[in-house]
Structure 1
């Protein structure tokens, strides 16, 4: 039995990543990750994604450095490999298990049954069939990006987390109206569960995601907006999937109109200087996000961003 790590060569979020696996059991892998303080959010079905700077300490802790080819071969022999064709379904199953747990873990004063029912109603909205990008996978991403920011010292309060849960709870492909509808939903659904001032903060934060332009002293708004925009710094392959999913949500819009509208959105994002409002977001995501957005603009318009 061994813990294996391959050479870091997968770019994302301003660094390169390696894979950490076990050739025997997920229990062994999770135990090693816990001991090495690899965060649970880094687990992806059959491996942990670990940044290049952590590889030496993982090797020192007992991980065996191997080639990518050998890691894959031993993972397959172990029976733990999740095939590419199976990964979407497995990720969906993992989200169905993880999101209710995340909701329940939010500190709350409501009785458990009421709180769980509220979370289930929210998740029903996030899994509506017309959603292609603004779905429960996006919700998971935003919550995980908030975890990243919080671990790096950003301000992530209960109101920020609840705003993440509500920020696209209403999604009909109507920019501005969707955020307003989501804010009103948060105000109504949280009326009996939060102090009035905290509920007002959740509502304010949800509305802020319409512009992604927090004030300079708005630490909570900066964290939420950065977590929502972190997808822009994904690997080029994942970014293209994101862009395609956004296009699918607007499949009722003729191509020329969509290209013009999408280009306007992207130009507005690039006009934010900086694009990310927290120091933590800027250091992790700024450069990669600008490259991805500029590349999409070229694809849309044929002209540099």
Structure 2
């Protein structure tokens, strides 16, 4: 899937609720500009492309693909490595957009909750769609060692404002949190595919910190 192919799922997900193609196109451009900010090295349009590709691969297992897609498109639309409220601000941006197009209130609430959940990767309501969305977001942890190492370099670039003295202990805490979880991935299929490699990747990174 190419970046240019993101326009189709964006338009298709919006169009049932608004036929204002100018607004759909303008909001698409705004989204693309956000994910192409220079400060982004991992949380960029390539990350969104990967998650949409995963959504399309598992679409038949998802109950509400509109909620999952809007959650993907908006979950990192606000990103600043120096802030701790990126998820809340991204969720607010999603809600603003969804209200403009008349997206159903209960589905808008779900998108808000899905995006907020990426802060902790906890699913207190045991929503099966949220399980897939969170697993999509963490799939990189179970990627090949080479892809994982590229990911770690990109994350370090995003946090380049912080010296190693601050970055490494903070990063290690995040990684240890994942290792202490009973399972990193929430869905059986992702656990089977990625759990072992994710734990190996994470431990290998910890060993370098």
TM-score range, shorter chain: over 0.9
1:156 offset after TM fit, Å?
5.0
State the 1:175 CA deviation: 5.7
TM-score, normalised by the number of residues in structure 1: 0.64
- Unaligned segments of structure 2, at least 5 residues: none
- Counterpart of 1:125 (choices 7, 24, 34) is 34
2:6 maps to 1:105: no
Structure possessing the higher radius of gyration over alpha carbons: 1
1:178 aligns with 2:86: yes
CA distance in 2, matches of 1:242, 1:251: 14
Which structure exhibits the higher relative contact order, with contacts defined as CA atoms closer than 8 Å and separated by 6 or more residues?
Answer: 2
Q: Which runs of 5+ in 1 are unaligned?
A: 1-40, 42-93, 301-305
Name the TM-score, length of structure 2 as normaliser: 0.92
SS in 2 for 1:191: helix
| Cross-structure match for 2:163 | 254
What is the number of equivalent residue pairs in this alignment? Answer: 206
1:291 corresponds to which of 193, 200, 204: 200
1:100-134 Cα distance to aligned partner (Å, 9 max, x none): 12312325311222222212211111111110110
Residue aligning to 2:99: 191
1:120-177 Cα offsets, whole Å, 9 max, x none, are: 21111111111011000011111112223335x3445211110010000000114641
What is the CA–CA distance in structure 2 between the aligned matches of 1:154 and 1:192, rounded to whole Å?
Answer: 25
CA deviations on 1:232-290 (whole Å, 9 max, x unpaired) are 11111111000000000000101121000000111111222111011121121111111
- The change in CA–CA distance for 1:251 and 1:265 in structure 2 (over 3 A counts) is same
Offset at residue 221 of structure 1 (A): 1.3
Runs of at least 4 residues of structure 1 off by over 4 A? none
Matching of residues 18-167 of structure 1 within 5 Å: 41=1, 94-95=2-3, 97-106=4-13, 108-111=16-19, 112-151=21-60, 153-155=61-63, 157-167=65-75
How large is the Cα RMSD of the aligned pairs?
Answer: 1.6
Take 1:230 and 1:142, find their aligned partners in 2: how far apart are those partners?
9
Matched-pair contact (CA < 8 Å) for 1:175–1:210: no
Bigger helix fraction: 2
1:169 aligns with 2:66: no
